[in-house]
Amino acid sequence: MSEEYENNKSSYQAQSSETISGDGASSAPDMDYVRPAEIGEQDLYHGHSFITKWIFCQDAKVIGVQYFLTAVFTGIVGLILSWLMRLQLGFPELAGFMTAEHYYQFVTMHGMIMVVYFLTALFLGGFGNYLIPLMVGARDMVFPYVNMISFWMFFIAVAVLMASFFVPGGPTGSGWTLYPPQAILEGTPGSGAGILLMLISLSLFVIGFTMGGLNYLITVLQARTRGMTLMRMPLTVWGIFTATVLAMLAFPALLVSSIMMTLDKVLGTSFFMPTILKAGEVLEYGGGSPILFQHLFWFFGHPEVYIVALPAFGIVSDLISVHSRKNIFGYRMMVWAIVGIGALSFFVWAHHMYVSGMNPWFGFFFATTTLIIAVPTAMKVYNWILTLWRGNIRMNTVMLWCLGFIVTFVNGGITGIFLGNVTVDVPLSDTYFVIAHFHMVMGIAPLMVIMGAVYHWFPLVAGRMLDEKLGKWHFWITFLGAYSIYFPMHYLGFIGVPRRYFEMYDSPYMTSAVGMNEFISLAAFIVGAAQFILIYNIIKTLKVGKPAGKNPWKANSLEWHTSTVPPEHGNFGDRLPVVHRWAYDYSVPGANDDFIPQTTPPSEVINTEVEKT
Amino acid sequence: MHAGFIFLAVIVGSVLFHIFTPWYWTDIASNWGAMDDTITLTFWVGGGVFVAVCLFMVYCVFKFSYKEGRKVEYKPEDKKLEKILTWATTIGVVALLAPGLVVWNQYVNVPKNAIEIDVMAWQWGWQYRLPGKDGKLGNTKIVNINEDNPFGIILEDPNGNDDVLIQSDVINLKTNRPVKILLRSVDVLHNWYVPQFRAKMDAIPGVITYYWFEPNKTGEYEVLCAEYCGVGHYAMRGGVNVQSEEDYEKWLQEQETFSDLIAKQKKLELETEKLAKKINLNIE
Amino acid sequence: MSEIEKKDQTSTHKIGIYLWIWGLLFVLSFFSYLVDWYQFQGLLRWSLILIFMFLKAGLIMAFFMHLFWERYALVNVLLWPMTAIACFIVLMVAEFKYTLFTRIFYFFIGG
Amino acid sequence: MSDPKIEGLELKPGFKGMASDTASDQTMFKGVHWGKAMMWIFLLSDTFVFSCFLIAYMKGRGSTPVEWPNPSEVFALDAFGVPVPLLLIAIMTFVLITSSGTMALAVKYGYEKNRKMCGWLVLATAMGGLTFVGMQAFEWSKLIHEGVRPWENPFGAAQFGSFFFMITGFHGTHVSIGVIFLFIYSYKVFAGHYDTGKRGWFTTMKGDYVEIEILGLYWHFVDLVWVFIFAFFYLW
């Protein structure tokens, strides 16, 4: 695969040197006219010492990498927890050191870490910080100082979370949903310091994220470069932007429920606590409503699913388009689908609560709204595969991750229709089917995109190409392994095996699945271990990797057209780029090359049949 | 090229797995066959879409792999195609949703002749209460629960006296007679779930939740707790014994009612008193 | 730093409009206080409370926070998300009624 | 504020303007300062926080079968020996609206670059806010004295105290933060930082009177939240 880049190197270099200074004097000024700048140049604070350059840094790109590394660290912790859980489930005789308390603590921490501290932070904090200013043509985020504080708040939140492993009683073991009364009741593992640290950590995360989120939103809304309209933005930016909107509006519910639960725990209020009889004694609580917590939690929790999924949708659209050398099919539809899914996600939260004992009539409302979301989501899937159709698909590692994403996402999306449709959900909820569904759709599928994005943008961040051969091994082991973990797991759910069971071998229909459970555990160990291939690959590449040069993938979007690779602080050198077209002009008939960067003015590609600008 | 083959193998493997899987749902033992039907319907429609989308993808991989200078289609949008796909998906979604809503309507509306059963859950166990001859359950209060009154029945409530108390985690049910399960928890969330009956609902402290089903196959079934309720969650089991009408009536006769329990306790108290007196006498 | 053209920011409004709104807010607050003073009950109380509340909120947002003079792009971005809140409120009203019903029915009335 | 003039772009009014603003490049909110846009989005997020609090309150109050204390009796205050319902609350509302008005005028004078007026009005707003916080502290101590606690109270449902302290406490925190910033900003105005464009801490941005408007948005929002708390907590 790599020869093609070598062959085309000279041609793209010629192209890019012309296009970087694209707005200059050209033969047809009317044709290339772009409105003058509304906003003056942004003042940037350039770090002078090691500390201001790399630690308390105000450069969004460094902050992005900091977010990325911190999130990956928590992700590895989550991965190790999942290994321990799988060891217990597959080979309980080998996991003699694990008690039920440990198991439930690991379940809880694995869930919370992966959803909030790993995926959310990685997509929005990591990719968002790195890519938004580059892709919309800004010098930096609009409030660099606030952005820096945002990261350090996140860092403290992670530290507080990790501290809960070392306090007496250990971390909380109430399930990642932290349902009361369970979560703060004596007897639940970690119901003392553990749950408090978890709630504090979540509150810090929300506060820190709000600072970052304001930055992402205002950068996209108010700091785009000349010519960059919203409908010319790459879908990556659309995905991250919409996800940030959701986060800004959904995290308040989490903050509120955290505060209320903290008060229940510390002050003995009864927001969520009804009269409770525990070990023969009536507790001092009374009159509260556990269902209220569930509503607040899922009012946050469902948008949270899309906070993870939408950036993945956006990024994968870009990757597929670049690597199949074809414009993304139905760009406008894709944008509206992202926005529509985001908006609808605030009206569907209680489909997580069909069997929770809420007002039974809600089932009709939420089943309907939930299944409406299936339509824009399905449109996105069609558009991805239609982008492949009649393209020129580079079967490199990045594309493999994208294809893996399509398979796992379609699989998980369709099981989502099972669980969103109220009647079908009743027998399946709280079984392994649910586990299989959400791991497939918001665990594996976004992870595939993250991996693809790492292979895609690593040349930009580090200036070197990751090893393709190692990358392919990494992909196949991860994809096949992960698929064989979660695909059979659906069938455990059909049998009726409930979630969150520490042991499960004493009922006839569960006994039949012993062999499968062992197989799933083995696959989980292998898939987890395979992730270290990537870490090895990165370390190796940083030392001896092939230099990437400028724009190795021959992509159109602005991040590949910076003054230097990797881009320096300020991103674009002396002059900000001027945008003349959308990011997807690949293989335009009549063009010399199979891509036309966003900065190329129309007068330079006058003979091409460009349809949309 | 090999990538396409592996993806193809994954798709075909998934279908084969589904066909030959030894793991599938347990035989249904209640009236909720309609739930199985909706699952089957969703399975066929969804599975069809999954296979079609993935096969299309694999076809693209085979057909359009990178070739220098291949002519690539440049067509940013196709309004007509997008419209067709949107409508087709919408119709499919409506077809899946409509039966679901119809069945849910049956699920939330309990038949008039259903027997109410009070299912009380705690960490970690179950016990049950059936209405007595009056067909009505007495009201309860958590603070009333003690050794003498294991269900916390309000003593002043006349409906409570003839309630049949089953202080065991196994309950017997009559075939072909709907039961309305009234779920009650005294501490945390629980969920009374029998896989063979398909239906389930959480028990929440502070309120009472319900669902109903009609067992239609005699036999013994296992009750699982399906909502995480603490470290004993996985071991929180119970049982259901679905019996024919005669067996059930016979079983019901043997059960103790609340007034029996009170009488028994009174007797016990009297006896202890007598015993104490006797001992006192002896000492004197 | 982004320095938006200074010239348009100097254009301000006459002081009279602020004083008017200020006065109206006092009057409306007084009215909503009177709702409690005269102990109106039921639907009348609720509609009066809500009317005065929304009038006050509207005046503050429109004039003190300048939304009346802002461009529609900003106004719409701020107001549309309120539909999610409205949906949440409506559903939670249904939910609390249902919870209250089950509590009263099963714990007090019985059946 | 009033429509800005943007070079090379005709700004249309109304929904047409919204469409063309959204479709245009560079900025979506034409002529809106970054900081102001940020404050608006932050307030939107904060609206969701307070909405969630109030919705939780509604659900909690609505679903308790225990009788809810009557606010007009609980919050009555003896004036000349006669209990007047909600007297203190009425005064607090009065104070907060007064401070909101002075803030609005401060923003106006800020844009007119009237340093003195702007500074005094910001200071007056800060004093109003301080008075409000003081009265709230008085109200809290009075209720605590009467036996109201977050976990119980002598008047009825236990959730009354819980929600009261939580919601007014959260609002009071917002007011207190606002008061701190108002004092700082009044100093900055008097010192002429916005006339000379002196950079503040926490920011790489040059000082400008638009910051008074940004602070004003926050302050009006605090007032706005009080309107809702007043209606739902004290009048319901």
pLDDT tens column, C3-15 = 444 444 445 678 8
- The dihedral through the CA atoms of A19, A24, A29, A33 has a sign that is positive
User: Measured between alpha carbons, how far is B197 from B217 in angstroms, rounded to an integer?
Assistant: 10
Please check whether residue C75 lies inside any domain of the structure. Answer: no
D143-157 pLDDT, tens digit per residue, is: 999 989 988 888 888
Domain that holds residue D229: 33-235
The answer to whether residues C96 and C63 belong to one domain is no
Instruction: Say whether residue C78 is in contact with chain A using an 8 A CB cutoff.
Output: no
Contact B66 A364 (CB under 8 A): no
ipTM of this complex: 0.93
Alpha-carbon distance B214 to nearest alpha carbon in chain C (angstroms): 21
Do D186 and D84 fall within a single domain? yes
Of D8, D22, D41, the CB nearest to A248: D41
pLDDT at position A8 is: 43
**Domain coverage including residue C30:** 1-70
Mean pLDDT of A446-455: 95
Contacts of A217 in chain D (CB under 8 A): 41
- The pLDDT-based confidence of A29 (bands split at 50, 70, 90) is low
> Stretch A355-379: mean pLDDT, rounded?
94
* Domain match, C15 and C66 both: yes
String of DSSP letters for chain D? -PPPP-TT-----HHHHHHHHHHSBS-SSTT--HHHHHHHHHHHHHHHHHHHHHHHHHHHHHT--SPPP-HHHHT-EEETTEEETTHHHHHHHHHHHHHHHHHHHHHHHHHTT-HHHHHHHHHHHHHHHHHHHHHHHHHHHHHHHTT--SS--TTS-THHHHHHHHHHHHHHHHHHHHHHHHHHHHHHHHTTHHHHT-B-TT-SSBP-THHHHHHHHHHHHHHHHHHHHIIIIII-
Residue in B159, B207, B209 closest to C110 by CB: B159
Is the model more confident about A329 or about C39?
A329
- Domain match, D109 and D20 both: no
From chain B, pick out residues whose CB is under 8 angstroms from the CB of C107.
139-141, 208
pLDDT at position A13, please?
Answer: 38
- The count of C-alpha atoms lying within 13 angstroms of the C-alpha of A98, restricted to the half-sphere facing its C-beta, is 24
Q: How far is A168 from chain C, CA to nearest CA, in Å?
A: 37
Cβ contact (<8 Å) for C36 and D86?
A: yes
Question: Residue ranges of the domains in chain A?
Answer: 58-233, 549-613
Report whether B23 contacts A513 (CB < 8 A).
Answer: yes
Q: Does pLDDT of A218 surpass 50?
A: yes
Residue B230: strand pairing partners: none
Residue A17: band (very low, low, confident or very high) from pLDDT cuts 50, 70, 90: very low
| Percentage of chain A modeled with pLDDT above 70 | 95
For chain B, the chains sharing at least 3 beta-carbon pairs closer than 8 angstroms are A, C
Q: Regarding beta strands B179-185 and B115-122, do their DSSP bridges make them parallel or antiparallel, or are they unpaired?
A: parallel
pLDDT at A298: 95
Q: Which band of pLDDT confidence, cut at 50, 70 and 90, is reported for residue C2? A: very low
**Cross-chain residue pair C64–D2, CB shorter than 8 Å:** no
Same domain for C35 and C88: no
| Of the partner residues C2, C81, C92, the one whose CB lies closest to the CB of residue A295 | C92
Q: Are residues D131 and D200 in the same domain?
A: yes
Question: In chain B, what residues touch A294 (CB-CB under 8 Å)?
Answer: none
Q: Does B136 touch chain C (CB under 8 A)?
A: yes
Domains identified in chain D, total number: 2
Which of the residue ranges A41-45, B242-246, D142-146 would you say has the lowest mean pLDDT?
A41-45
Q: For an interface test with C, give the residue of D3, D21, D28, D55 to mutate (most C CBs within 10 A).
A: D55
**Residue A571 CB contacts under 8 Å (≥ 6 apart), including other chains:** A61, A133, A134, A138, A139, A140, A562, A563
Residues D100 and D25 in one domain: no
Identify all chain C residues contacting B159, using CB atoms and an 8 Å cutoff.
Answer: 110
Q: Are residues D191 and D216 in the same domain?
A: yes
Cα dist. B90→A282, B40, B83, B84, D7 in Å? 52, 19, 11, 10, 45
| Share in percent of chain A as helix, strand, coil (round to 5) | 65, 0, 30
Binary contact (A275, B77; C-beta < 8 A): no
C22 pLDDT exceeds 80? Answer: yes
What is the reported pLDDT for C110? 55
C59 located within any domain:
yes
Residue D16 shares a structural domain with residue D90: no
Whether residue C85 sits in one domain with residue C66: no
Q: What is the mean pLDDT of chain B?
A: 90
Domain shared by D61 and D119, yes or no = yes
Q: Is C110 within 8 Å of chain B by CB?
A: yes
Distance from CA of A433 to the nearest CA of D (A): 32
Query: Total domain count for chain C?
Result: 2
Domain check: are C56 and C89 in the same one? Answer: no
Q: What is the pLDDT of residues B202-232, one digit of tens each?
A: 999 989 999 999 999 999 999 999 999 989 9
pLDDT value of position A4? 44
* pLDDT of res. A421: 92
Q: Are residues C91 and C37 in the same domain?
A: no
What does the pLDDT average to over A514-529? 93
Please give the mean pLDDT across all residues of chain A: 90
Mutate to test the interface with B, among C95, C102, C109 (most CBs of B within 10 A): C102
Residues C65 and C100 in one domain: no
Neighbors of chain D with 3 or more C-beta pairs under 8 Å: A, C
pLDDT digits (tens, 9 = 90+) for C62-97: 999 999 988 999 999 999 999 999 999 999 999 999
Are the C-beta atoms of A310 and A239 separated by less than 8 Å?
yes
Same domain, residue pair D82 and D22: no
Residue C60 resides in a domain: yes
- Residue A28 confidence (pLDDT) above 70: no
D1 and D104 housed in the same domain: no
Instruction: Search chain D and give the residue with CA nearest A248.
Output: D45
Q: Which residues of D touch C52 (CB under 8 A)?
A: 231
Residues C13 and C66 in one domain: yes
In this structure, are D38 and D25 located in the same domain? no
List, for chain D, all residue ranges whose pLDDT scores fall below the cut of 50: none
CB contact under 8 A, B3 and A407: no
